[in-house]
A and B are shown apart, each in its own frame.
Chain A
Amino acid sequence: MASTSSDPVVVVLQLTGANDYLNTVIPYTNPLYRDNRPNVGVPEDKVLPINDTLAFHPNMGPVKKLYDEGKIAIIHGIGYANSPRSHFRSMDIWHTCEPDKVGTEGWAGRLIRDLDPKGENVLKGVNFGQGLPRAMVVRGVPVTSVSDLEAYGVLTGVPAISGEQEKTRVLERFARMYAPAIGTGPVMDYLGQTGQDVLKGVDILKTAPQQYASTVQYADTPIAKNLRNIAQVYLANLGTQLFYTQHGSFDTHFNQVPMHNKLWTDVAAAIENFFDDLRAHDAGDNLIMMLFTEFGRRVHDNGTGTDHGAGGVAFVIGNRVNGGMYSEYPSLKPADLQQGDLAPNYDFRGFYATVVEKWLGLDPVSIVGGNFEQLDFI
């Protein structure tokens, strides 16, 4: 089960709620941008220019810094045809790679299955957050979901169990209750096996914060906490190759300006903390982080915010990423818009496929459900 520390690792950071493309990577010199965003347009003197035509949101300073170091690939106009512009449906599509019918298997789950076909490492794929994203769900593929690494465990928070000693004894009792026994039937066997796997995972995961020491002071935000947990598990070399987490909500229909400001302040700071942490540990060369969202937002603002759109932007961050811009910024001309939204020109499944094939060395076709154009960001 041991793996070398050079196995490639992917961190998926989902921006939940539909991050506004136009105010994230801003066409700040395009008059159409000003015309369409009388209320939420970012002032020209506030943006962080990347070049003559595009700039980052003012609160993305740390992201700009990484971009200038050549570590960020920006994928423009990402999406898929006929967006339903529904959060749930669109997120499902991103999770299952099935734009036209309802899929039930997650691309990341398939990925984990291909990385670990015998399911030997219950920590091969770890989600940090509540519940399990559909992206990671494939029947029979064991994955782990942790809402709080320091508190992760079985029988945590039981009022009657007082003190560590009692907790340890009760856990040992629990482990014996779940030990394999003959004659109780296949479902009990399955439960026993699952319980044992969970305990193994808990025991192994416990070592991550125990071994971790860092000079980096992470911000006090949920996203920074999740990225810190990811760093702890990554640095502990437990064989995890797929990390998943999310931040939100980016659904800025109303009051977008202060909301989006805070969202990006928090995400950018957390990303900076994370990569600083990896660098301080002389690690990170085998890691990339993918950022995506379920769709972009409407070109014209609605007074204080923006409504659901179509084409969006994705990022890939890492030491070995070929930084720069990929695909095309969709046109803002009215004739080129789809129902008032930016037309996507790059299929998101190519984004996944690039990572799956070029970074993880796996066959992408069965994972993303087809052949899609890959880019050279790796």
Chain B
Amino acid sequence: MPDQDIALMAHLMRRAGFGASRAELEARVAKGYEATVEELLHPESQPALDEDVLYRYFPNLEGPLAPVQAQTNWVYRMINTPRPLEEKMALFWHQLFATGNSKIDNPPELLQQIAMFRRHGLGSFRDLLVELAKNPAMIFWLDNNGNHRGAINENWGRELLELFSMGVGNYSEDDIKEASRSFTGWTIGPKLPRLPLGRFYWSFAYKPEDHDDSEKTFLGHKGRFNGEDIIDIVVQQPATARFLARHLYNFFVADEPQVPSWNITPPRDPEAIETLVQAYTTSHYDVRAVLRVLFRSDFFKQARFARVKSPAELVIGTVRLAGNFAAPRLGFQELAWECNYQGQEILNPPSVESWHTGQEWIDGGALVRRVNFAAKFLGDASLPGIHAIVDGLRTRGTLSPVEFVDGCLDLLGPLEVSEQTRRELLAQAEEEGALRWSTEQESRVSTQRVGVMLALIGASREYQFA
């Protein structure tokens, strides 16, 4: 039987990070669940990723980057970060504040935005929104550089309210206009052309002469608002608390329906959302405080395998399990391509509305790639993580088919599967009887049988969930 503590820790690490090996899980269980949650919530307690190593081996992942190089840079970090929650939050914010290279056309600038998410992703939501409003990639993405006194552009003002804080139905068109007026003057410095000297980082520039300083009425408040004032009002709104809570629930707890239907479809667990809303309000908009409540809650602990993995989670989680990308080597770029082929081009979401998540990650093409990718890695006993699983089974001695299947599910996760899947895995194990290790020959056969079993588990429907 899988150890309940290990199972819970595996669940935590799948959600708050990208998964953890059996050895890491055992170490974390020894430390304790609450202590682990605190460690995750305080990434500064761990060393940062060693960039010297990264760039010594991959000098081409620094400087002027092509899109796939920027993706590779981030994939490397997601796999090897000593700060799992910091990195997972960067992915969360990227999926929420979706900014795409199709328009930015400056991959290093996008990596700057992601770095900003690392720095501010667990702190005050208010401060994060201000950083976002000043982020050059975001300004250009939502055309705030075209938002002028006397000639407003509503794109940023609208999406700030609709997609980044309050959600549809909680403000009026006039509020959008007033918000947009308040953000006039928030622009970027002149962008150097890409040729002939290559790419340069952009910069935020505030132009007071282009700022509409007159009185505005926003969500019932009156004043000569500037951008920060709008954000101050927005973060206080109950709608903001509910919207952010629901996004955090959707990303960390269980799949909600798609965001565009949120103003008509209620959350699947309104009490959970309310709990998170309380945490947001009493902590004065502190993301860390909300997450602390979330990770310690029963609704989180019980929501096992309630989310479909995004391509990034599937690719990176599988690779971390297999353990063959723990240090610089060839092949990271292929992992970035794999995320692309599975339907998630990180750093290039299809629009500011971001990717559709949950079930909508899966279509016929994506399913084949996901299944084949997982099976290829999990079915390779030469990889360190898989080899460790084989060894883990060997130390348990001769195993009956039931023990064989349960052992694989335990060491791979622990994972839970449906009756139907378990029946098939059992039938697979029963084909060749008990798993033996007493002779060279038996070991060889058993190793191969374990590989096939793990590949089948990786190919299962249940493996699509985290």
| Residues in A lying within 8 Å of B, measured CB to CB | 84, 86, 88-89, 92, 102, 104, 122, 127, 130-132, 134, 139, 142-145, 154-162, 166, 169-170, 173-174, 176-179, 181, 184, 186-188, 190-192, 194-195, 197-198, 201, 307
Contacts and interface: CB of A to CB of B under 8 A. Distances in A.
A74 B71 CA distance: 38
B180 to A, nearest CB: 17
B364 A201 contact: yes
A155 B364 contact: no
Contact of A179 (B382, B420, B459): B420
Given A181-B420, A197-B364, 4 more contacts: A174-B459, A177-B460, A178-B461, A198-B367
How many residues of B sit at the interface, in one of the four size bands? 35 or more
A367 B379 CA distance: 43
A154 B368 CA distance: 6
30 contacts: A86-B102, A88-B67, A88-B102, A88-B103, A102-B103, A102-B352, A104-B353, A130-B337, A131-B341, A131-B342, A139-B356, A143-B363, A154-B459, A155-B371, A156-B372, A158-B379, A158-B451, A159-B379, A159-B381, A160-B379, A160-B452, A161-B451, A177-B420, A177-B459, A178-B461, A188-B418, A188-B461, A195-B371, A198-B364, A198-B367
Interface stretch (B165-173, B232-240, B421-429): B421-429
Given A88-B102, A184-B420, A195-B367, A139 B360 contact: yes
B337 A190 contact: no
Contacts of A86: 102-103, 105
Nearest to B102: A88
A187 B352 contact: no
Given A104-B350, A154-B371, A159-B451, A195 B424 contact: no
A116 B365 CA distance: 18
B448 interface: yes
A173 B367 contact: no
A144 B365 contact: yes
Contacts of B358: 187
B109 interface: no
Given A104-B350, A170-B456, A184-B420, A177 B461 contact: yes
A197 B452 CA distance: 23
B6 interface: no
Nearest to B353: A104
B341 A130 contact: yes
Contacts of A162: 448
Contact of B365 (A102, A145, A155, A188): A145
Nearest to A141: B363
Contact of B364 (A88, A134, A194): A194
B337 A155 contact: no
A190 B362 contact: yes
Contacts of A158: 375-376, 379-380, 451-452, 455
Contacts of B431: 169
A159 B380 contact: yes
B351 interface: yes
B255 interface: yes
B275 interface: no
A191 B372 contact: no
Contacts of B337: 130
Nearest to A182: B420
A177 B456 contact: yes
B343 interface: yes
B308 interface: yes
Contact of A187 (B103, B255, B450, B456): B255
A198 B368 contact: yes
Contact of A92 (B102, B362, B368): B102
The 6 closest A-B pairs by CB, nearest first: A160-B451, A88-B102, A158-B379, A131-B341, A145-B365, A102-B351
Interface string B427-466: 1100100000000000000001011101110011100100
B363 A194 contact: yes
B365 A187 contact: no
B247 to A, nearest CB: 19
A176 B424 contact: yes
B352 to A, nearest CB: 7
A99 B363 CA distance: 27
A174 B381 CA distance: 20
Nearest to A131: B341
Contacts of B362: 190-191, 194
A30 B415 CA distance: 70
Nearest to A86: B105
Given A89-B103, A130-B337, A145-B365, A155 B418 contact: no
Interface in B381-420: 381-382, 418-420
Contacts of B379: 158-161
A197 B362 CA distance: 13
A194 B371 CA distance: 12
A82 B261 CA distance: 34
A191 B455 contact: no
Given A88-B348, A195-B367, A197-B364, A159 B424 contact: no
The residue among B375, B381, B427, B455 with the most chain A CB atoms within 10 A of its own CB is: B375
